[in-house]
Amino acid sequence: MQAWALLSAVLWYLTGVGCQRSSLLNKKGFVFGKIGHPVKIYVKLHQNSPVLICMDLNRANTETVDPTYLWIGPKEKTLTDNSRISITETGKLMVRDFLEPLSGLYSCTLSYKTVKAEIQEETTIKRRYEFMIFAYREPDYSYQMAVRFTTKSCVGRYNDLLFRVLRKILDNLISDLLCHVVEPSYKCHFVKIPEHSLLQNELFIAFRVDPFAPGWESVCNDSVDCEDITNRNILKARDRIEEFFRSQAYTFYHRLNNTVPAMHFVDHSFQVVRMDSCRPGFGKDEGLHSNCASCCVVCSPGTFSPDVDVSCQICASTQVYGAKSCPE
């Protein structure tokens, strides 16, 4: 029996008884330096960074004589070409399979010459460009939902029965996605309906739909970006639940007779709000990371995030990116 039909049957029974990023990234995926200002870049976890250019845009469009490039990474480490770091002869740098500890300040010093050919005079000029690179990951989505149902009375066991049946139906509806309903609750209120003189009893039901039902790890299939998969599943779960309540409204308005059940879904009462959370070691900070405001960005040194919160907390003793605890 379809879920909407099952709930309709329950309601009629009860009646009878009584829901990569940088502002300087160009179309080729290159990021140019900017004299005097570090360029912020956000690289998704386990993805390659954009190509960093050891020049500003003006210099790149100008003839450069005898250029040399020196790249320095986090912790003042001189960078060389290896399996993770790619540096070309023309000063382009890319980091492969970006991880939390690779976050930090990357700087490049460009040295070149100006030549006065008529007197064979050469002058060496140096320019330093800085790039602040942060690992980020997508937030984990969950959805806070609310619906309302009419009821004959705010007392009695049938409200509890409806609540339990509704939760079971919704869990079954999304179980194949390894999503489930958590933190369900309801309260009964007296509601004055506009243009009616009578009060109506209504159950205000709230619950959260979460993508981490027992065994959820099996959907990852060894993917390093499992939040992409779980977020796709929770979006499907949201759509199914929304369609379920839409069908409740349709069934009510297209009933075969004019008898109105005492307990029925209140049309247009379905509400849904997305709730984001970040994995440990990551958090959101719209002020610090305005170019990646919706991202979960790696916690910087001096901060940490121990659980699925949405912000990094202050911890003076942490000296690494992505700290999940605060050492004493």
- Structure confidence at residue 119 (pLDDT): 73
The per-residue pLDDT for range 207-254, each reduced to its tens digit, is 999 999 999 988 887 777 788 899 999 999 999 999 999 988 776 666
- Structure confidence at residue 185 (pLDDT): 96
- Structure confidence at residue 14 (pLDDT): 52
pLDDT score of 164 more than 70: yes
Confidence of residue 17 (pLDDT cuts 50, 70, 90): very low
Percentage of the residues of the chain whose pLDDT score is greater than 70:
87
Confidence of residue 205 (pLDDT cuts 50, 70, 90): very high
Confidence of residue 9 (pLDDT cuts 50, 70, 90): low
How far is Cα of residue 139 from the mean position of the Cα atoms in its chain? 2
- Structure confidence at residue 139 (pLDDT): 93
The per-residue pLDDT for range 255-280, each reduced to its tens digit, is 655 666 678 888 889 999 999 999 99
pLDDT score of 23 more than 60: no
- Structure confidence at residue 84 (pLDDT): 92
Distance, CA of 32 to CA of 207 (rounded, Å): 47
